[in-house]
Amino acid sequence: MAASFAFFRVQVKILHSWRQYTPTAGETLECILADSTGTKIHASVKKDLVVRHANQLQEGQWRFIETFSLTNAAGHFRPTGHVYKINFLNGTNIRASDNGSESIFLSLSKFLRILAHEVNTSILVDVIGQVVNVGDVEDLDVNNKPVKKIDFELRDVT
């Protein structure tokens, strides 16, 4: 059983957001958030709250998020290395913040460390490289939903 804690307010920048579908949870809104020090955390908005909050979670904006829960982050392919994950609740409120930091909070991983398997393969990492090969777009069926897949090769430019 995952630990769950209720918290009142954090100030974060929305770095990335996407909609995700799973058979158990339905469609959710997932986000990567960062505080003013660059600490990143994954946040999840369950399906019945997506319509209420989606327009308030635009990438690049700073927000105060009030009243949410924290649970242990788990699973493969976690979007951040943070040990906790934010979950929006029925009482969660989002308010604008005047923090003006334009940082994109990248934590670039070295290609050699990735190739040497020195990074945790369950946690996504930030990379920048030169695209040297792009495959064809493939149409796939995942969980009875059509998705597109593209393979590409990057070259280290550092």
Predicted local distance difference test score (pLDDT) of residue 2: 54
Assess if CATH 2.40.50.140 describes domain 4-96: yes
Cβ pair 57, 79 in contact under 8 A:
no
| Domain range annotation of the chain | 4-96, 111-156
Sign, CA dihedral 118-107-125-121, equals positive
Instruction: Give pLDDT, residue 4.
Output: 59
Predicted confidence (pLDDT) per residue in 77-94, tens digit: 899 999 999 999 999 999
Beta strands 62-72 and 4-22 are antiparallel
Mention every residue, 6+ apart, whose C-beta is less than 8 A from residue 85.
Answer: 41, 42, 43, 44, 70, 71, 72, 73
Which pTM value belongs to this model?
A: 0.83
pLDDT average, residue stretch 141-150:
87
